Amino acid sequence: MSDDEAVEEYLFKIVIIGDSAVGKSNLLSRYARNEFNAHSKATIGVEFQTQSVEIDGKEVKAQIWDTAGQERFRAVTSAYYRGAFGALLVYDISRRATFDNVARWLDELNSHSDTTVARMLVGNKCDLENIREVTLEEGKSLAEAEGLFFIETSALDSTNVRTAFEIVIREIYNNVS
């Protein structure tokens, strides 16, 4: 192994997108800090969090970006998407409108990035089974039709949160290595 390879480092930008209040900020805080906030306000100040994952004995850093609530105004800027290698496209399984808007988010993501972006469709709030409006099968078939990974998560009870991020990180690593 050459010296170059020995010091090889990976830093991947990942963006989280989707309608307001689907749980984007809580997915990130659950993953990065194991925190959940029932009354979370729009993110102020913090643009991204960095998490390290070990893959094939190498340290891989994911710089995960959260919106500052600007998705409310349909004004997520191109700077937000710039340089992203991965994306989590989040909807809320208890609100069908957020699932119907996935196509719009996907268009926006695709128009701001090249085709090698690792994309994961995330049906969040799967703890709300009793008021579910979008079935698991609907999520799966949309993901299949659009060529996305798919998972259901709960930032509240932690179901699949780590897995969702790490599948994307691993896929990016596979794409670039």
State which residue, 24 or 112, has the beta carbon closest to Mg ion.
24
Which of residues 13, 14, 25, 121 is near Mg ion by CB under 5 A?
25
Euclidean distance between CA atoms 102 and 126, whole angstroms: 17
Q: Which does 154 bind (CB under 5 to 8 A by kind): ligand GDP, Mg ion, none?
A: ligand GDP
Q: How far is CA 44 from CA 7, 23, 58, in A?
A: 35, 15, 32
DSSP state of 129: G
| 8 Å CB contact between 39 and 29 | no
Q: Which does 127 bind (CB under 5 to 8 A by kind): ligand GDP, Mg ion, none?
A: ligand GDP
Nearest residue to 157 (alpha-carbon basis) of 27, 53, 41, 66 = 27
Euclidean distance between CA atoms 23 and 85, whole angstroms: 21
CB atoms within 10 A of CB 112: 19
CB atoms within 10 A of CB 48: 16
Considering CB under 5 A, how many residues would be counted as binding Mg ion? 2
Which of residues 155, 164, 167, 168 is near ligand GDP by CB under 6 A?
155
In the complex, the smallest distance separating the C-beta of residue 23 from ligand GDP, rounded to whole angstroms, is 3
**Where in 32-71 is the site for ligand GDP (CB under 6 A)?**
37-38, 40
The full length of the chain comes to: 177
The owner of tokens 């998560």 is 153
Site track for ligand GDP across 95-134, x = CB under 6 A: -----------------------------xx-xx------
**Does the footprint of Mg ion cover residue 26 (CB under 5 A)?**
no
State which residue, 7 or 75, has the beta carbon closest to Mg ion.
75
Q: Which does 155 bind (CB under 5 to 8 A by kind): ligand GDP, Mg ion, none?
A: ligand GDP
CB atoms within 10 A of CB 69: 15
List interacting residues with Mg ion (CB under 5 A). 24-25
List interacting residues with ligand GDP (CB under 6 A). 20-26, 37-38, 40, 124-125, 127-128, 154-156
